Structure 1
């Protein structure tokens, strides 16, 4: 059951604007903003919109996902090359790993976990796997074919302290516990993107930002005061970054 708590009343105001065209935007819990450019370059800005660091890598093709949930450990996943690259807070490489080393794996989604771990979705075994900081297997879920009677096509993964969330392509979001046990399918679907902040799922619905609490099933809605068509919104601690075709607007209610 989904409890609608109505419209959030805090008035958002623009605090900065980044005049850069980008494919995607991300915000960490320290309110650093990351933009992915059309040239596959990752740009890091502070909360005032000042460019601090940049990273590019032409060896592995297009970036499939960027996870900034740990600001000290930014996780990049290049699906075509089955390659993960981990950056520090200055966007310098800490480590990298090729899933292609294991011929039994076919990784389609990656998420940053606690204690420098990684959650991956292995399409070959149709299962979630938690890898340690040394990329050895710690936890493996059941084959999801047993639950859904079909191979799950993962679009995105995100992890909080207690849960792992897996977005299925063209379908909803699945919730798992920290041991890979299936919990439920959340009553939200047709998402183009979502992110996790303090165990709350945030996603865009038109010009509204929806925050959904997967433990209390409560939902709030907040209108984003941006006149241009919005393609993505990312939520940090105090900053909301709104991506449009030509610029990124940084909003706050403080």
Structure 2
């Protein structure tokens, strides 16, 4: 983890100096990882998951070798989210149908969860939990709930409307370092512990590509990349190179920057 944070700090320094340099001198184009790409993500082992416009998910290893393919993406409508926090257990969330599909590391289906059968009718965000279950946020009840692969609700928080002044409508749920982060781009970051106790709210608004690594929170808007160290007042912002500002999605990983633009997934290396 220390090495990851050192590399990310180096990346952010590169972004900060990008105004005085061209993108070519800051980032080195590595490869074109895919075309006609509509979404992607990367796990902590460097495996790349690409969703193409035909509705297929392809998993590729760090060297670009094909590992697995999942072809039934459209069975439950539009895919809203891919969570690969645990590389051995991939979550696909189809929000319109309230359905979570759990895949193994070779993208074979192992479980399908219909949230509606658990009376969960308005769930915009899900995420892997620390114990290999799934966090879901029930907006109708304003509660964070932990569900098993069979759909059973294992645990839930108090109604958020009783503990915060305004309940979130999160787009992201991240479980990291014994904390659960809910990110609502209009209201900011809400932090809870595993027992549902409210810890803090941070007024970081208008971000996309939200993630948490260690104690650092990362995100971006159209022009800037942000890093915030939880528990401090230290918010750092760095210009995104002009050539990357039309990106549909940017994901930072150790040593590599993944940029999706014009349905092309480009991989850049940095030091």
TM range (shorter): 0.7 to 0.9
In structure 2, the partner of 1:136 is 152
CA contact (8 A) 1:197 1:235 kept: no
What secondary structure does 1:75 align onto?
strand
In structure 2, the partner of 1:242 is 259
- Taking the aligned partners of 2:185 and 2:101, their CA distance within structure 1 comes to 24
In structure 2, the partner of 1:83 is 99
What secondary structure does 1:125 align onto?
coil
- Taking the aligned partners of 2:54 and 2:126, their CA distance within structure 1 comes to 22
Instruction: Select between 118-127 and 18-27 the one with higher mean Cα deviation.
Output: 18-27
In structure 1, the partner of 2:229 is 213
In structure 2, the partner of 1:253 is 270
In structure 2, the partner of 1:33 is 48
- 1:125 maps onto 2:125 in alignment: no
- 1:8 maps onto 2:13 in alignment: yes
For residue 148 of structure 1, report the CA deviation from its aligned partner: 4.1
Bigger relative contact order (CA 8 A; separation at least 6): 1
CA contact (8 A) 2:226 2:236 kept: yes
In structure 1, the partner of 2:199 is 183
CA contact (8 A) 1:230 1:244 kept: yes
CA contact (8 A) 2:115 2:151 kept: no
Which of residues 219, 229, 232 in structure 1 aligns to 2:249? 232
CA contact (8 A) 1:32 1:45 kept: yes
Structure 2 CA distance for partners of 1:47 and 1:204, relative to 1, 3 Å:
farther
Write the deviation string for residues 208-235 of structure 1: whole angstroms up to 9, x where unpaired: 4333332445444555557252221112
For residue 34 of structure 1, report the CA deviation from its aligned partner: 1.9
TM-score (norm 2): 0.79
CA contact (8 A) 1:234 1:240 kept: yes
Q: How does 1:60-71 map to 2 (within 5 A)?
A: 60-71=76-87
Structure 2 CA distance for partners of 1:170 and 1:220, relative to 1, 3 Å:
closer
Structure 2 CA distance for partners of 1:64 and 1:247, relative to 1, 3 Å:
same
Structure 1: gaps spanning 5 or more residues: none
| Larger helix percent | 2
- Taking the aligned partners of 1:191 and 1:154, their CA distance within structure 2 comes to 12
CA contact (8 A) 1:12 1:224 kept: no
Structure 2: gaps spanning 5 or more residues: 1-8, 16-25
